[in-house]
């Protein structure tokens, strides 16, 4: 047994206490919010249809729900950011705000995206200097807004993170490129185009980055077949999964 005194609860004198003012006061699972909206009931492992289930999980069933817009006040610095954005952005640029699981998402009208990104980067009280990632989401049940593009922004000046979300219809999958504001978004937008087929207008070189240049389709869309097509890899052809195995 150690003869050292009990140090439980002690802190080093040179270790400052955590700055709890940086954390929002809402958004956790303990805070009541609007009831989530049921988008669909997904069956099978991946929710695909029309391509033969080769996963062996065809009887799985899951309810897909989406969080609904949150009414202000949002809590903590979320309100500070939202109020500042309301002052510097054009009317109608932000169409919805969602606070969910301690994170805040601003839905942006796509025609205002570049203006919003530039204001978020350059306004001293906002200063979201870094775009950490750009990703796509395909929600085929949302008519007129099937394609979603999500931007994760970080303010190193104020130690804050927010999310922007832009939607566009599947029939017109065009979104302005933010590379002129955030050069680091270059490869992220290429990957989103490659996987989902979203066209980023104004991108300096929107080409595939993961798949071969002549690859048909965009593999992370919900309507992309999970099987039933031949796959060519380095000159060899791999037969469709259902011709090689079965779960019966």
pLDDT level of residue 113 (50, 70, 90 thresholds): very high
pLDDT level of residue 91 (50, 70, 90 thresholds): very high
| 7, pLDDT greater than 50 | no
**Nearest one of 143, 150, 193, 148 to 167, comparing CA atoms:** 148
Beta bridge partners of 165: 107, 150
Contact 153, 132 (CB under 8 A): yes
Tokens 């699981």 belong to 101
Q: Kindly state the average pLDDT of the residues 137-143.
A: 91
Q: Kindly state the average pLDDT of the residues 167-182.
A: 97
Contact 51, 227 (CB under 8 A): yes
**Nearest one of 77, 63, 65 to 27, comparing CA atoms:** 77
For 69-215, CATH number?
A: 3.30.460.80
Give the pTM: 0.76
**Pure H helices in 14-147:** 77-88, 113-122
Strand pairing class (160-168; 103-108): parallel
Q: Kindly state the average pLDDT of the residues 193-219.
A: 93
How many other CB atoms are there within 10 angstroms of residue 67's CB atom? 15
3-state SS assignment for residue 186 = helix
Strand pairing class (147-155; 160-168): antiparallel
Q: Kindly state the average pLDDT of the residues 194-208.
A: 96
Q: What is the pLDDT of residue 47?
A: 60
| 102, pLDDT greater than 50 | yes
C-alpha distances in angstroms, 155 versus 76, 83, 121, 185, 193? 16, 16, 8, 16, 26
| 50, pLDDT greater than 90 | no
Q: What is the pLDDT of residue 151?
A: 98
| 140, pLDDT greater than 80 | yes
Q: What is the pLDDT of residue 54?
A: 62
Strands (E), 101-146: 103-108, 130-138
pLDDT 10s digits, 8-27: 444 434 434 334 444 554 44
Q: What is the pLDDT of residue 18?
A: 36
Q: What is the pLDDT of residue 243?
A: 65
**Nearest one of 190, 192, 194, 212 to 203, comparing CA atoms:** 190
pLDDT level of residue 221 (50, 70, 90 thresholds): very high
Higher-pLDDT residue of 244, 198: 198
Higher-pLDDT residue of 200, 48: 200
Mean pLDDT (the chain, rounded): 82
Contact 73, 103 (CB under 8 A): no
Q: What is the pLDDT of residue 216?
A: 85
């Amino acid at each position: 047994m150690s003869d050292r005194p009990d140090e439980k609860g002690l802190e080093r004198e040179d270790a400052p206490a955590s700055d709890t003012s940086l954390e929002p006061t809402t958004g956790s699972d303990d805070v009541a919010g609007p009831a989530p909206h049921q988008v669909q009931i997904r069956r099978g492992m991946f929710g695909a249809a029309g391509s033969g289930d080769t996963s062996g999980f065809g009887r799985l069933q899951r309810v897909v729900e989406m969080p609904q817009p949150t009414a202000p006040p949002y809590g903590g610095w979320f309100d500070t950011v939202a109020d500042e954005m309301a002052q510097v952005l054009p009317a109608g640029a932000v169409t919805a705000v969602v606070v969910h699981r301690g994170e805040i998402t601003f839905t942006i009208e796509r025609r205002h995206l570049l203006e919003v990104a530039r204001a978020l980067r350059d306004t001293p009280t906002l200063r979201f200097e870094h775009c950490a990632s750009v990703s796509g989401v395909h929600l085929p049940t949302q008519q007129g807004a099937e394609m979603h593009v999500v931007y994760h922004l970080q303010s190193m000046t104020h130690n804050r993170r927010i999310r922007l979300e832009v939607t566009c219809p599947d029939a017109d999958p065009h979104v302005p490129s933010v590379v002129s504001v955030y050069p680091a978004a270059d490869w992220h937008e290429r990957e989103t185009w490659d996987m989902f087929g979203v066209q980023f207008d104004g991108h300096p070189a929107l080409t595939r980055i993961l798949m071969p240049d002549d690859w048909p389709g965009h593999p992370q869309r919900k309507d992309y077949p999970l099987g039933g097509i031949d796959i060519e890899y380095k000159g060899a052809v791999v037969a469709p999964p259902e011709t090689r195995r079965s779960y019966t």
